Amino acid sequence: MNTALQIRNNTTDGAFEAVLDDEVVGRVGYRLRQDRVVLTHTEVDEAHRGEGIANQLVQTALDDIVATGRRLTNFCPFIADYIADHPSYKTIVDPDHPGGAAVPERAPREN
């Protein structure tokens, strides 16, 4: 039995998935739009909330956007809060298409 969390990019379903013991326990949904990635939502199974899975998923998704040179359009409030806490990611938000979840202007929280 494998208890290590794995994050994979399921390009068929358009989601970064958190997999634990061969079960998908969380995901960040996305759509590709030309040179942008539209992040739509973050979800983690209730039994696994509070384990840092959502943070790992979001970091992986944002790092992938950075690595591919795309821009971000965000509709997920959790991701907006993550970016506020990790302001280096603000540079990838598409100023012309920021999405419906604005990054709050506040000092980053301690993790």
The predicted-structure confidence for 50-96, as pLDDT tens digits, reads as follows 999 999 999 999 999 999 999 999 999 999 999 999 999 999 999 99
Sheet holding 15-20, edge to edge: 6-10, 15-20, 23-33, 36-44, 71-74
Single-letter amino acid, residue 15? A
Q: Which two tokens stand for residue 109?
A: 């929280």
What is the pLDDT, as a whole number, of residue 1?
38
Could you count the other beta carbons within 10 Å of the beta carbon of residue 98? 16
Q: Could you read off the pLDDT of 31-51 as tens digits, one per residue?
A: 999 999 999 999 999 999 999
Cβ count within 10 A of residue 2:
9
Dist CA 12 CA 111 (whole Å): 33
Nearest Cα residue to 99 out of 72, 70, 78: 72
